[in-house]
């Protein structure tokens, strides 16, 4: 495992222990390059970032709050833009 992967896992673990308001403040203060903001993440990762279950993420998709990104040529391959998750955390 690379050092950058270890740091990312540690940061994710720390963020998941924070209350949503503190997590939103930290995420809003971070500057993230555009290439990273458009990164596609999985449903489980989105649920961890939001502090909710994967079923709650599915509800957000079905209610139109969170847009799902599908991959061309894949019937079931889908994910979520990191920027969409961050705007949801930030209250946007």
Contact 29, 67 (CB under 8 A): no
Contact 79, 41 (CB under 8 A): yes
pLDDT tens per residue, range 50-62? 899 999 999 999 9
- Tell whether the model's pLDDT for residue 24 goes beyond 90: no
- Tell whether the model's pLDDT for residue 9 goes beyond 80: no
| Higher-pLDDT residue of 36, 39 | 39
Cα separation of the two ends of the chain: 35
Range of the domain at 48: 3-89
- Tell whether the model's pLDDT for residue 35 goes beyond 60: no
pLDDT tens per residue, range 38-52? 788 999 999 998 899
Give dist(CA 32, CA 89) in Å, integer: 15
Q: Is the torsion defined by CA of 51, 56, 62, 64 positive or negative?
A: negative
| Percent of the residues in the chain that have a pLDDT greater than 70, as a whole number | 75
Number of domains composing the chain: 1
Radius of gyration of the chain (CA): 13
């Amino acid at each position: 495992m690379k050092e950058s992967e270890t740091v990312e896992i540690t940061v994710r673990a720390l963020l998941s222990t924070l209350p949503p308001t503190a997590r939103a403040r930290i995420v809003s203060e971070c500057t993230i390059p555009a290439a990273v903001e458009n990164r596609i993440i999985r449903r489980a990762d989105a649920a961890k970032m939001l502090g909710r279950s994967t079923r709650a993420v599915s509800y957000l998709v079905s209610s139109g709050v969170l847009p799902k990104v599908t991959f061309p040529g894949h019937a079931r391959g889908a994910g979520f833009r990191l920027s969409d998750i961050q705007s949801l955390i930030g209250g946007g």
